Amino acid sequence: MTNPLLESFDVVPFDRIKAQHFLPAVNALIKQAKSEIDQITQNQESATFENTLRPLELSGLYLERVSQCFFNLLSAHTDETLQNEAQHISPLLSSFKNDILMNARLFERIKSIYIQREILQITPEEAQLLERTYQSFCRNGALLTPDQQEEVRAIDSALSKATLTFGNNVLSETNAFSLNVEDKSSLEGLPNSFLEQVQKKAKEKNLVGYLVGLEFPSYLPVMKFAKNRELRQKLWLAYGARAAQNNEQDNKALIREIVTLRQRRAQILGYPNHAAFVLEERMAKSAQNVNTFLGDLAEKAMPAAKRELEELKNFALEQENIEQIQPWDLSFFSEGLKKKLFDWDEEKLKEFFPLNQVLTGVFGIAKRLYGLRFEQDLEIPVYHNEVTAYRVFDEHGAFKAILYCDFHPRPSKRDGAWMTSYKTQYKTSQENHRPHISIVCNFTHPDAQGIALLTFQEVTTLFHEFGHALHGMLADTHYPSLSGTSVSWDFVELPSQIMENWCFQKESLNLFAKHYKTQEPLPLAYLDQINALKAFQEGMQTLRQIGFATLDMAYHDGQFNNQDVVAFERDILGDMQLLKHKHPYVMSTAFSHIFQGGYAAGYYSYKWAEVLDADAFSLFEERGIFDPQTAESFAQNILSKGGTIDPMVLYKKFRGRAPKNDALLKRAGLLTKD
């Protein structure tokens, strides 16, 4: 059988790849990569940067590409075959990684270079690569005894399987739930565009009426607009029961396993807990610093959150005589209160944000800021007919990147939105290898006329992921492990979150916010509403995010001791859950960011990066949101540098000083007035 993954390719040949190609390709490429490592370790010459570090960094690049492709498909377009293959491929890759990081002869060569680092004639980027490589070996067991190394190997293999299973369970549970609503009156309050979508789903299943599910474009509109309180309750309870129903997809035991394994691994390596292990390489540095940061924000957010909740309770009482507001009421009455205070109408606002215009807008903003031009290329193979591919060029016509865009939900795609890579940027003496980047979202499907109207939240989500994509596309480093988004996880959200700011500016909105039928520009009244709403219920939203981050830290800083997951979650969230309830609801069992993704002991980074983004964008506000010098500085000092320089050094080069949190507090309406 010809295997396209074992042929030399530039763009991924999605049109020729089958699920059964991956395992033999991974096996063959692991063998090839091991041969490349053997050439390094068998070199009889003294270790140097050129004969050890550089070839190590460039080894296994095709293996990395095939692995990236596999795991990206596993998230964006999975099936049972891919999920089964993952149970073989993931442990193989974990074992291979350990084979490298626990290779004694290889580590001795790296160590001998590291010892001489003060006298080596190498560039700052090479010095950073040396430092990160040496620390990576140390942090993954190179200094352990053989018995300890074997235990780490076993833990890593078990973790690779457990985290995969966790994600599969969440996807399975999300897809398994559906509520067939036959009576249209039960869906009163929901927009016609939504009704068309869920009616179409029902027809596809040969059902009468409407089919409502837990995927976000279905779940969220019900919670925000459905007047039927019982319907909201059913969906809220179902959403909070995902992977927590004592069935085969229950994740509670997996959480205990994952946390215990991470804790044990950290202790073997000499750290008190997993959080200490993770944060050693983050801007925050320690759990104490993270908890202090979160505590300070919570202290500022709590008074506002309490006021906001009381306001919401009073509104619910006034509108529907509800004396005891419930969790499934929050989004619904928040929407009603927004309409009352700001004359907010999300459905009318959506008419100014058709997906194709928003995408054209974000491309246009990238052109004005960074000189980028996007051209759709129908010849580039894609993995699903909803995916579009673009070639990206700079202002001089030089090729910069390939960008894949995948915007709509389907049963084969996990929830949420993310940016990922199919090929990493790096340089050799012959070529600057340009990156292949992808953004994946779960926006509402197009209507019968093929038009997908985005909520404003979806607009900001697209800008957020596009900010990550810019970090990848504008990468300009020599080494793949330092390229693009290969930075501290509490720094990686800066490029994404700062990009959201252009959704709130008249000058940028004028480029794309136009009515999908009349092309009427977004009225100034809507712009005023959007900006006024930035601080709406920000106290409650901030407290919610702090709750997620605090729960994440509690699982990983030693507080969790294999106890009941539901009770632990409730205990940790404690005062941060202002609306007390006794209903069966747990978020941990579907908390994929920390139990499947890479945010374990790192969820705080969203709020951390908000400080950076608000402070950084204030410079654009001072100089002009399209000021070419400021944009060039951000591109040169932040977007292009990847992990080649300490993130705080990069930030100070751009901003001229360390970040201050005043801009965030002002934006959120939480700045204390003296």
The domain over range 4-101+103-139 is classified in CATH as 1.20.1050.40: yes
Choose among 617, 629, 606, 601: nearest CA to 663: 617
Q: CA–CA separation, 149 vs 142, rounded Å?
A: 8
At residue 1, the pLDDT reads: 67
- Whether 465 is catalytic is yes
CA distances from 5 to 9, 93, 384, 423 (A): 8, 16, 18, 14
Tokens linked to 224: 């925000």
Q: Could you tell me the CA-to-CA distances from 408 to 223, 235, 445, 514, 579 in Å, in that order?
A: 20, 21, 6, 22, 33
Structure tokens at 357: 């215009």
The three state secondary structure string of 409-465 is CCCCCCCCCEEEEEECCEECCCCEECCEEEEECCCCCCCCCCCCECCHHHHHHHHHH
Given its phi and psi angles, is residue 563 left (phi above 0), alpha (psi -120 to 50 degrees) or beta? beta
**Given the residues 465, 500, 538, 569, the one annotated as active site:** 465
Q: Do 187 and 223 contact (CB within 8 A), yes or no?
A: no
pLDDT for 97 equals 95
Q: Which two tokens stand for residue 253?
A: 């035991």
Domain boundaries, the chain: 4-101+103-139, 180-239
**Secondary structure of 158-218 as H, E, C letters:** HHHHHHHHHHHHHHHHHHHCEEEECCHHHHCCCCHHHHHHHHHHHHHCCCCCEEEECCHHH
Tell me if the pTM is above 0.85. Answer: yes
**The predicted structure's pLDDT at residue 674:** 43
- Whole-angstrom distance, CA of residue 666 vs CA of residue 458: 24
Residue in the block written with tokens 């390719």: 9
With beta carbons less than 8 A apart as the criterion, state whether 79 and 102 touch. no
Query: What are the tokens at 53?
Result: 């570090």
The low-confidence residues of the chain, meaning pLDDT below 50, are 674
**In degrees to the nearest 10, what's the CA dihedral of 43, 46, 51, 56?**
80
* pLDDT tens string 325-380: 999 999 999 999 998 998 888 889 999 999 999 999 999 999 999 999 999 999 99
Report the candidate in 23, 28, 33 with the shortest Cα–Cα distance to residue 7: 28
